[in-house]
Amino acid sequence: MHIRILLAGLAVACSCATAQAGGEHERRLAAELTVIAGDTRRLMTGEAGPLERDGLVKRLNGALSSLPLLLRRTSDDAIPVASIRALVARRDWRGVSAALATLKHRHPFDARQLLVAAPTPEMLSLGASIHQTTCAGCHDVTTGDTLLPAKNLATQLRTMPREEFAARLLLGVHGDRTTRWSNPFSNFELSSLIAHYSK
């Protein structure tokens, strides 16, 4: 009897763990698609300088290399990625954008956990203090046209939908290619940062 209860408990625990892992993969994939689509838009509108455009294309190719793995993890088909890569090689940003729209439709990014309509004063001061201690060193200095510049985050937020900024934050504070940190922040800390940058 006890064993049966124990086993039942284990089964529940296991299926929750799997569901959570699945949810995390899905969230990561959806965020990744949002960022890739956002970078494609930046290339399409020509808003970046020539060096930064190179950096964006490199980053796009890097992201497309890991996309098949992310798609498989969510049991989706990785085949469309090959044609997206071919479109990138031809610099056909409209084509890339259309192909991504289909994938994004299948894997919508839900930013609700990170976007708070009415942040509390505590959130605003938490966001300000995280920014000051861990982000300002790189993001509050002006850089010219470089491959992938660290930008002023409050300014950057105003140039894109808030959902897209949230996806960029979620995927992490990656610094440059050599650091590539994964995100150490909780949803609450990330929403506080977004609230701070939205002020």
Binding of ligand HEC by 111 (CB under 6 A): no
The region of 75-83, 99-107, 110-118, 129-137 touching ligand HEC under the rule CB under 6 A is 129-137
Measured CA to CA, the distance from residue 57 to residue 199 in angstroms comes to: 31
Q: Which of 27, 28, 107, 139 binds ligand HEC (CB under 6 A)?
A: 139
Buried b (16+ CB within 10 A) or exposed e, 161-171: eebbbbbbbbb
Instruction: Write out the binding residues for ligand HEC, residues 33-92 only, by CB under 6 A.
Output: 35, 59
Q: Which is closer to ligand HEC, CB of 37 or CB of 81?
A: 37
Which of 74, 70, 77 has its CA nearest to residue 102? 77
Residue 150 beta carbon to ligand HEC: minimum distance, rounded to whole angstroms: 4
By CB under 6 A, name the one of 9, 62, 137, 161 that touches ligand HEC.
137
Report how far apart the first and last C-alpha atoms of the chain are (Å, whole number): 58
For tokens 């290399």, the residue is 65
State the residue for tokens 């940190």.
181
C-beta of 20 vs 155, nearer to ligand HEC: 155
Q: Contacting ligand HEC (CB under 6 A), which of 60, 67, 100, 173? A: 173
Is 134 one of the binding residues for ligand HEC (CB under 6 A)? yes
Distance CA 22, CA 194 (A): 26
Cβ atoms of residues 72 and 163 within 8 Å: no
Biggest distance spanned by C-alpha atoms of the chain: 70
Q: How far apart are CA 17 and CA 20, in angstroms?
A: 5
We find the least distance from the C-beta atom of residue 192 to ligand HEC, in angstroms, to be 11
**Residue 138 binds to ligand HEC (criterion: CB under 6 A):** yes
Nearer to ligand HEC by Cβ, of 90 and 158: the residue is 158
User: Where on the chain is the footprint of ligand HEC (CB under 6 A)?
Assistant: 35, 59, 130, 134-135, 137-139, 148, 150, 153, 168-169, 173-176, 193
